[in-house]
Amino acid sequence: MSERDEFGAFLVGFVVGGLTGAVVALLFAPQSGEETRALIKDKSIELRDKAQVSAEEAYHRAEKLAADARVRADELAKEAKERAAELANEVRERGKTAIEAVRKPKKGEDAAAA
Protein backbone atom coordinates (compact mmCIF):
# COMPACT_ATOMS: atom_id res chain seq x y z
CA MET A 1 0.00 0.00 0.00
CA SER A 2 2.91 2.34 0.77
CA GLU A 3 4.30 1.93 -2.74
CA ARG A 4 0.96 3.04 -4.20
CA ASP A 5 0.94 6.13 -1.98
CA GLU A 6 4.47 7.01 -3.03
CA PHE A 7 3.63 6.54 -6.70
CA GLY A 8 0.46 8.62 -6.32
CA ALA A 9 2.43 11.41 -4.67
CA PHE A 10 5.02 11.23 -7.45
CA LEU A 11 2.32 11.35 -10.11
CA VAL A 12 0.61 14.35 -8.51
CA GLY A 13 3.94 16.13 -8.22
CA PHE A 14 4.74 15.34 -11.83
CA VAL A 15 1.43 16.73 -13.09
CA VAL A 16 1.61 19.85 -10.91
CA GLY A 17 5.20 20.42 -11.98
CA GLY A 18 4.27 20.05 -15.63
CA LEU A 19 1.43 22.54 -15.34
CA THR A 20 3.62 24.97 -13.45
CA GLY A 21 6.29 24.66 -16.12
CA ALA A 22 3.76 25.33 -18.86
CA VAL A 23 2.51 28.48 -17.11
CA VAL A 24 6.04 29.76 -16.55
CA ALA A 25 6.96 29.03 -20.18
CA LEU A 26 3.96 31.04 -21.35
CA LEU A 27 4.78 33.95 -19.06
CA PHE A 28 8.45 34.14 -20.01
CA ALA A 29 8.05 33.29 -23.69
CA PRO A 30 9.48 35.84 -26.13
CA GLN A 31 6.02 36.86 -27.26
CA SER A 32 4.00 39.96 -26.76
CA GLY A 33 1.27 39.94 -24.16
CA GLU A 34 -1.37 39.98 -26.85
CA GLU A 35 0.12 36.95 -28.59
CA THR A 36 0.30 35.10 -25.28
CA ARG A 37 -3.32 35.97 -24.47
CA ALA A 38 -4.39 34.79 -27.94
CA LEU A 39 -2.46 31.55 -27.42
CA ILE A 40 -4.08 31.01 -24.02
CA LYS A 41 -7.51 31.75 -25.51
CA ASP A 42 -6.96 29.28 -28.36
CA LYS A 43 -5.77 26.57 -25.99
CA SER A 44 -8.71 27.15 -23.65
CA ILE A 45 -11.15 26.87 -26.56
CA GLU A 46 -9.42 23.68 -27.68
CA LEU A 47 -9.59 22.20 -24.17
CA ARG A 48 -13.25 23.19 -23.83
CA ASP A 49 -14.08 21.47 -27.11
CA LYS A 50 -12.21 18.32 -26.05
CA ALA A 51 -14.03 18.34 -22.71
CA GLN A 52 -17.37 18.73 -24.48
CA VAL A 53 -16.63 15.80 -26.81
CA SER A 54 -15.53 13.65 -23.86
CA ALA A 55 -18.69 14.56 -21.95
CA GLU A 56 -20.88 13.67 -24.92
CA GLU A 57 -19.11 10.32 -25.33
CA ALA A 58 -19.56 9.59 -21.63
CA TYR A 59 -23.25 10.54 -21.88
CA HIS A 60 -23.81 8.18 -24.81
CA ARG A 61 -21.98 5.36 -23.02
CA ALA A 62 -24.12 5.97 -19.93
CA GLU A 63 -27.31 5.89 -22.03
CA LYS A 64 -26.25 2.57 -23.58
CA LEU A 65 -25.42 1.09 -20.18
CA ALA A 66 -28.76 2.27 -18.80
CA ALA A 67 -30.61 0.68 -21.72
CA ASP A 68 -28.71 -2.58 -21.22
CA ALA A 69 -29.52 -2.48 -17.51
CA ARG A 70 -33.23 -1.94 -18.28
CA VAL A 71 -33.26 -4.93 -20.65
CA ARG A 72 -31.52 -7.11 -18.05
CA ALA A 73 -33.91 -5.94 -15.32
CA ASP A 74 -36.89 -6.81 -17.54
CA GLU A 75 -35.43 -10.27 -18.18
CA LEU A 76 -34.87 -10.84 -14.46
CA ALA A 77 -38.40 -9.67 -13.65
CA LYS A 78 -39.82 -12.08 -16.24
CA GLU A 79 -37.76 -14.95 -14.81
CA ALA A 80 -38.88 -14.06 -11.27
CA LYS A 81 -42.56 -14.05 -12.32
CA GLU A 82 -42.18 -17.42 -14.02
CA ARG A 83 -40.46 -18.90 -10.98
CA ALA A 84 -43.12 -17.45 -8.65
CA ALA A 85 -45.85 -19.02 -10.79
CA GLU A 86 -44.04 -22.37 -10.68
CA LEU A 87 -43.72 -22.17 -6.90
CA ALA A 88 -47.38 -21.19 -6.51
CA ASN A 89 -48.44 -24.21 -8.58
CA GLU A 90 -46.17 -26.48 -6.57
CA VAL A 91 -47.57 -25.17 -3.26
CA ARG A 92 -51.13 -25.56 -4.60
CA GLU A 93 -50.45 -29.18 -5.56
CA ARG A 94 -48.87 -29.95 -2.19
CA GLY A 95 -51.83 -28.35 -0.46
CA LYS A 96 -54.28 -30.48 -2.45
CA THR A 97 -52.29 -33.60 -1.58
CA ALA A 98 -52.26 -32.66 2.10
CA ILE A 99 -56.01 -31.97 2.11
CA GLU A 100 -56.72 -35.29 0.41
CA ALA A 101 -54.53 -37.08 2.94
CA VAL A 102 -56.43 -35.49 5.82
CA ARG A 103 -59.86 -36.22 4.31
CA LYS A 104 -59.05 -39.80 3.33
CA PRO A 105 -59.51 -42.02 6.38
CA LYS A 106 -56.78 -44.47 7.20
CA LYS A 107 -57.53 -48.20 6.87
CA GLY A 108 -58.07 -48.96 10.55
CA GLU A 109 -60.10 -45.79 11.27
CA ASP A 110 -63.21 -46.74 9.24
CA ALA A 111 -63.92 -49.81 11.32
CA ALA A 112 -63.22 -48.00 14.61
CA ALA A 113 -65.56 -45.15 13.76
CA ALA A 114 -68.42 -47.49 12.84
Q: Which carries the bigger pLDDT value, residue 42 or residue 24?
A: 42
Is 0.85 surpassed by the pTM of this model?
A: no
* The pLDDT of residue 108: 58
Q: Is the pLDDT of residue 40 over 90?
A: no
**If you average pLDDT over every residue of the chain, what do you get?**
84
Q: Is the pLDDT of residue 114 over 60?
A: no
**What span, in angstroms and rounded, lies between the C-alpha atoms of 112 and 114?**
6
CA quadruple 103, 104, 107, 110: dihedral sign: positive
**What span, in angstroms and rounded, lies between the C-alpha atoms of 106 and 94?**
19
